[in-house]
Amino acid sequence: MHGNEQPPHGPQPQGRPPRYGPPPQYGPPPVHPRFVAAPKRGGCLRAFVVAVVLLAGLVLVGVGVLLSGGGGDSPGSDVGVSAPAGKAEKDRKDGKAGEQAAAGIGDTVKDGKFSFTVTKVEKGVERVGDQYVGSDAQGQYVLVHVTVRNIGDEAQMFLDSAQKLIDTAGREYDADSGAAVLGLKNPNAFLNNINPGNGVSGILLFDVPDDFKIKAIELHDSLFSGGTQVALR
């Protein structure tokens, strides 16, 4: 050694120069226990609970389907109780339709502001009028005598063109206004304005085929009313 040079501390390896670099690293630095995540527990228990909940839900859905779909056969179920009510409603409607269809000659029916009473029906008429003024039927004339009364609170026009004759096949026939005006002395069915409380007796005339099979007449207080039927058989 020369001068003030100091030898390095500790023994020095033979034949190698001294090392003054940073110490070697042997892995990541240690992590403080405060930041280490605790191992998860209870995973199997949570899966078991979820499975039980799903199974219970499926059971409830199955019970609901059985109660809603199969309850109709049970006398005590809600469906079994409501079925007679629906049948009663249908019977009531059918009964009302039957009552309406049961109205016949001499019965009074109503539609809108008018009441109607069919008093007489003539079939197989070949000509109306006289030898000078009249009209011949294409097939045969059917004459329906009707009394019309205004039961409303204002005047209403009675039109023969609003009335329909119906055959047994359900086909509808229009009134022949021209033949009625020419051949009937007092048809009272063509543009007759009736005041409230008043009534008129008129004749509705229809030109129908020779093989026509009469069923009913549908009477209306106007062209757009619902109408009411009177059986003519």
Q: How many angstroms separate the CA atoms of 57 and 104, rounded? A: 63
pLDDT at position 68 is 46
Torsion of CA 44, 45, 46, 48, to 10 degrees: 90
Spell out the domain ranges in the chain: 108-231
What pLDDT band is residue 10 in, cutting at 50, 70 and 90? low
Mean pLDDT of 18-40: 54
What pLDDT band is residue 132 in, cutting at 50, 70 and 90? confident
What pLDDT band is residue 17 in, cutting at 50, 70 and 90? low
Give yes or no for residue 171 having a pLDDT over 80: yes
pTM of the entire structure? 0.57
Q: How many angstroms separate the CA atoms of 34 and 4, rounded? A: 51
Which carries the bigger pLDDT value, residue 5 or residue 142?
Answer: 142
Two tokens, residue 40: 């998860």
Contact 178, 191 (CB under 8 A): no
Give yes or no for residue 197 having a pLDDT over 60: yes
CATH no., domain 108-231? 2.60.40.1240
Give yes or no for residue 136 having a pLDDT over 90: yes
Percent of the chain with pLDDT over 70: 57
pLDDT at position 84 is 47
Contact 116, 109 (CB under 8 A): yes
Which carries the bigger pLDDT value, residue 130 or residue 80?
Answer: 130
